[in-house]
């Protein structure tokens, strides 16, 4: 009975009239061990179909090509922003004069300038003290030169004594 | 569409794309390259992917066209695709050497089929698509597909019977 229906199915199969269900039935039949001897030669065909169904694609596909490009441009943009942030305040600073400032700003300006002057006066005083230090070191150098002369004087005296 | 969405969309049929490519190009490496190419093409056009009615059928058509183009250019260059992977088709499940041998025969017989019959057998008997889907993928009517499929199946059967009975190679 079963064999009969399988034979009919194969006939239909060869004429490409089977449905997917019937084909699955055929595959199941040929996957089993008790295949009728005269149908044996169909076995590898159906086995091959079921086996090659399981083959898989294992390679990875690099999908993130676009993203990396975006990241590169982000760094460029960051540099540009930095440069702008450095230069833009300078342009604004140049266009301002003392006269164009509001009275409050002028007052603040003069006050800060006075404070700076005070600081610079202090600095200059410090500098003068440094000058006196330099004078001391000058005197010191002169002293050393004197000492060198003395040592040469002693050399010549030694020579004179040896000659005697 | 993000990468994860795309992957989950493509996941179910990427193996089918690969197997169809391998059926046509025979060599595993060539098929892998082709599959990668197809998936990248889909990825590049990911904005349009929502407009496609059936992404899977669309990609199978793409695969078919891509592989046929590949074969044409190979023939024009008078180059044969080199392959050495007949044994890949047999699984470790198959313990009997004889059975493995005859499965190799099926794969070789299928290589000799005309391209269109190869594609149809692949889509119908291995991937188990129904005729309506195949006719969409190949842009053929169903009767023509049935005729080609029947021819292909009969050729395979005849050749298998011959090798089975007489060992003719």
Q: What is the pLDDT of residues B97-115, one digit of tens each?
A: 666 677 777 888 888 888 8
Residues B68 and B146 in one domain: no
DSSP-assigned letters across all residues of B23-77:
HHH--HHHHHHHHHHHHHHHHHTTTGGGG-S-HHHHHHHHHHHHHHHHHHHHHHT
- The rounded distance, in Å, linking the Cα atoms of A120 and A128 is 12
Domain-located, residue A84: no
Indicate yes or no: CB of B153 within 8 angstroms of CB of A61: no
* Minimal C-alpha gap between A26 and chain B (Å): 11
Alpha-carbon distance B101 to B90, whole Å? 9
Using an 8 Å Cβ cutoff, are B35 and B117 in contact? no
Residue-number span of the structural domain to which A24 is assigned = 2-52
Token pair belonging to A144: 């050393």
**CA distance linking residue A159 with residue B85, whole number of Å:** 106
Which one of B91, B130, B160 has the shortest CB-CB distance to A20?
A: B130
Number of separate domains in chain A: 2
Residue A14 lies in a domain: yes
- Identify the domain containing residue B146 by its residue range: 90-169
Contacts of B25 (CB under 8 A, 6+ apart): B31, B34, B67, B70, B71, B81
Q: Which of A23, A41, A51 sits opposite B103 (nearest CB)?
A: A51
Two tokens at B134?
A: 């195949």
Per-residue pLDDT of chain A (164 residues; tens, 9 = 90+): 578 888 888 888 888 888 888 888 888 888 888 888 888 778 888 888 888 888 888 877 776 655 566 777 888 999 999 999 888 876 665 556 777 778 888 899 899 999 999 999 988 888 888 888 888 899 999 999 988 888 888 888 888 887 76
CATH number at residue B39: 1.10.1740.10
Closest chain B C-alpha to A1 CA, distance in angstroms: 23
If DSSP codes are grouped into helix, strand and coil, which group holds residue A99? coil
Same domain, A48 and A105: no
CA–CA distance, A94 with A71 (Å, rounded to integer): 36
Distance CA(B153)–CA(B94), nearest Å, equals 23
Q: How far is CA A7 from the centre of its chain?
A: 70
Same domain flag for A105 and A48: no
Residues of chain B in contact with residue A61, where contact means CB-CB under 8 angstroms, are 36, 39-40, 43
Reported as a single tens digit per residue, the pLDDT across B18-51 is: 999 988 888 888 888 889 989 888 888 888 887 8
Would A140 be classed as within a structural domain?
Answer: yes
Domain boundary among B83, B110, B134: B83
Among candidate residues A52, A69, A88, the one where a domain is terminated = A52
Is the ipTM, as predicted for this complex, more than 0.85?
Answer: no
CA–CA separation, B122 and A53 (whole Å): 9
Per mean pLDDT, which range of B25-39, B79-93, B142-156 is the poorest?
A: B79-93
Whole-model pTM over 0.90: no
Is the same domain home to B27 and B64? yes
């Amino acid at each position: 009975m079963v064999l009969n229906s399988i034979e009919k199915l194969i006939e239909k199969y060869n004429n490409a009239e089977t449905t997917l269900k019937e084909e699955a039935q055929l595959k199941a039949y040929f996957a089993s061990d008790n295949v009728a001897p005269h149908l044996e030669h169909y076995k590898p065909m159906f086995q091959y179909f079921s086996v090659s169904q399981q083959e898989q694609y294992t390679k990875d596909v690099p999908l993130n090509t676009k993203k990396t490009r975006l990241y590169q441009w982000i760094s460029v943009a960051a540099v540009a922003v930095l440069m702008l942030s450095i230069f833009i305040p300078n342009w604004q600073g140049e266009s301002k004069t003392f006269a164009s400032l509001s009275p409050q700003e002028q007052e603040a300006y003069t006050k800060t300038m006075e404070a700076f002057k005070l600081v610079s006066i202090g600095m200059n005083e410090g500098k003068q003290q440094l000058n006196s230090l330099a004078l001391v070191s000058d005197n010191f150098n002169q002293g050393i030169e004197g000492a060198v002369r003395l040592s040469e004087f002693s050399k010549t005296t030694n020579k004179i004594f040896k000659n005697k | 569409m993000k990468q994860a969405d795309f992957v989950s969309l493509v996941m179910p049929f990427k193996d089918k794309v690969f197997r169809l490519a391998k059926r046509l190009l025979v060599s595993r490496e060539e098929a892998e390259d082709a599959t990668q190419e197809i998936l990248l093409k889909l990825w590049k056009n990911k904005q349009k992917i929502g407009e496609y009615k059936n992404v899977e059928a669309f990609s199978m058509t793409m695969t078919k066209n891509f592989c046929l183009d590949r074969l044409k250019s190979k023939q024009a260059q008078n180059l044969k695709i080199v392959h050495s992977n007949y044994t890949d088709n047999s699984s470790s499940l198959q313990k009997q050497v004889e059975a493995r041998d005859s499965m190799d025969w099926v794969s070789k017989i299928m290589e000799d089929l005309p391209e269109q019959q190869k594609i149809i057998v692949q889509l119908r008997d291995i991937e188990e698509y129904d005729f309506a889907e195949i006719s969409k993928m190949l842009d053929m009517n169903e009767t023509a597909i049935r005729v080609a499929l029947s021819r292909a199946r009969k050729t395979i059967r005849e050749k298998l019977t011959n090798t089975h009975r007489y060992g003719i190679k």
